[in-house]
């Protein structure tokens, strides 16, 4: 199902804002494959359309689709009313149905897709990622976000009970055979989740390649990001991949994704942490970036750990207007 339109307004959440800007910086490297304005964006705009506005203004993308589960007539009117640009086409219904319908002409453009869910991991999300990977052209990227919290019942359960609950959520016979109670340990659950999606993506690429004869036309997938952050007491995870042809490997290399400190091909998530600073503290911190020397003159009361955390994300830190509500 699509992300909820009545959930938290992520427009005013600093970690989500930082994540968007990091993803945009990574997307900017796709120019090696094509002008980014020629890409199609498929997302879940809800009633705020924050990512749509960012990608349209930043890259000039005019081909945009927003999937929305809330298809009651009253809700449709509200989404249409809140659309920031007329180049956004609303697609109402279950995301799984939309992604497998003729509503999106998959063969015509490269895609930037962000399946931005509110809820915890489930079989629909896995199937939707699988659907996207099965259809996108070389040079396309697919991101998926979801809540990592599996509920109080899961936290209190035994390892065996946790495994049963997790397997019930993902509802995939192939994937569940790879899991054991040890994979449900608190320190391993993020790696386990990554393993599930990694297997789905790689299996779908293998399936597509089985029907392709030319070696240059065969596809490769590469994980680009694995984010973890906490906004509004919800710990969110985001995974993202690029799909490209073997014949395009030079283009992929020229993208230079590894230049970014947040590039992450591992199964351990990159933590987006936003220290809680006042405006005056932010001002002096920015004056000392990027080559900050600790302790900071005039602000030696700031802890080195929080200063280093800010140094990792200061370029992507939300404007004062956004953070004034969130901090």
Give the Cβ contact number of residue 5 at 10 Å: 18
CATH 3.40.50.150 residue ranges of the chain are: 10-272
Report the chain's mean pLDDT, rounded to a whole number.
92
Q: Report the alpha-carbon distance of residue 131 to residue 128 in Å, rounded.
A: 5
Output the pLDDT for position 4: 52
pLDDT lower than 70: segments of the chain? 1-12, 320-327
| Cα torsion 173, 175, 180, 186: sign | negative
The residue among 18, 23, 211 whose CA lies nearest residue 113 is 23
Q: Alpha-carbon distance 91 to 105, whole Å?
A: 13
What pLDDT is stored for residue 7 in this prediction? 47
- Which residues lie closer than 8 Å to 322 by C-beta, 6 or more apart? 11, 12, 14, 17
As assigned by CATH, the class of the 10-272 domain is: alpha beta
- Which pLDDT value is given to residue 3? 53
pLDDT for residue 61: 98
pLDDT 10s digits, 20-48 = 999 999 999 999 999 999 999 999 999 99
List pLDDT tens digits, range 160-218: 999 999 999 999 988 999 999 999 998 899 999 999 999 999 999 999 999 999 999 99
Range list of β-strands (E), the chain: 40-43, 63-68, 88-92, 111-120, 140-147, 219-231, 234-245, 270-272
pTM summary value: 0.93
Q: DSSP letter string over 180-228?
A: -GGGGSTTTHHHHHHHHHHHHHHHHHHHHHTT---TTT-EEEEEEEEEE
In 3D space, the residue among 121, 117, 177 whose CA is nearest the CA of residue 143 turns out to be: 117
Q: What DSSP element (H or E) covers 132?
A: helix 123-133
- Between the alpha carbon of residue 40 and those of residues 105, 215, 245, the distances in Å are 10, 27, 19
Q: At what angle do helices 189-209 and 123-133 cross, to 10 degrees?
A: 40
Q: How many CB atoms lie within 10 A of CB 258?
A: 10
């Amino acid at each position: 199902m699509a992300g909820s339109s009545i959930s938290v307004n992520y427009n005013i959440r600093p970690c989500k804002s930082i994540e968007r800007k990091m993803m945009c910086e990574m997307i900017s490297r796709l120019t090696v494959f094509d002008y980014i304005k020629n890409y199609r964006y498929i997302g879940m705009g809800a009633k705020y359309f924050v990512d749509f506005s960012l990608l349209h203004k930043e890259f000039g993308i005019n081909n945009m689709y927003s999937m929305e589960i809330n298809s009651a007539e009253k809700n449709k009117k509200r989404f249409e009313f809140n659309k920031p640009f007329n180049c956004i086409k609303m697609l109402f219904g279950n995301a799984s149905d939309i992604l497998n319908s003729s509503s999106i002409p998959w063969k015509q453009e490269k895609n930037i897709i962000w399946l931005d869910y509110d809820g915890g991991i489930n079989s629909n999300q896995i199937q939707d990622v699988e659907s996207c990977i099965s259809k996108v052209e070389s040079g396309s990227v697919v991101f998926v976000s979801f809540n990592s919290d599996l509920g109080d019942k899961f936290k209190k359960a035994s390892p065996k009970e946790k495994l049963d609950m997790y397997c019930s959520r993902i509802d995939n016979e192939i994937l569940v055979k790879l899991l054991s109670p040890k994979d449900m340990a608190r320190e391993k659950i993020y790696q386990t989740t990554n393993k599930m999606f990694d297997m789905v993506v790689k299996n779908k690429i293998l399936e597509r390649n089985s029907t392709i004869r030319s070696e240059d036309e065969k596809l490769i997938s590469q994980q680009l990001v694995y984010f973890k952050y906490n906004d509004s007491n919800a710990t969110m995870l985001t995974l993202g991949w690029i799909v490209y042809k073997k014949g395009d490997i030079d283009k992929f290399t020229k993208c230079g994704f590894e230049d970014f400190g947040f590039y992450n091909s591992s199964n351990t998530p990159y933590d987006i942490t936003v220290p809680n600073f006042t405006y005056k503290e932010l001002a002096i911190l920015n004056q000392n970036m990027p080559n900050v020397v600790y302790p900071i003159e005039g602000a030696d009361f700031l802890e080195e750990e929080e200063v280093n955390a800010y140094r990792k994300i200061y370029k992507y830190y939300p404007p004062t207007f956004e953070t004034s509500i969130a901090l």
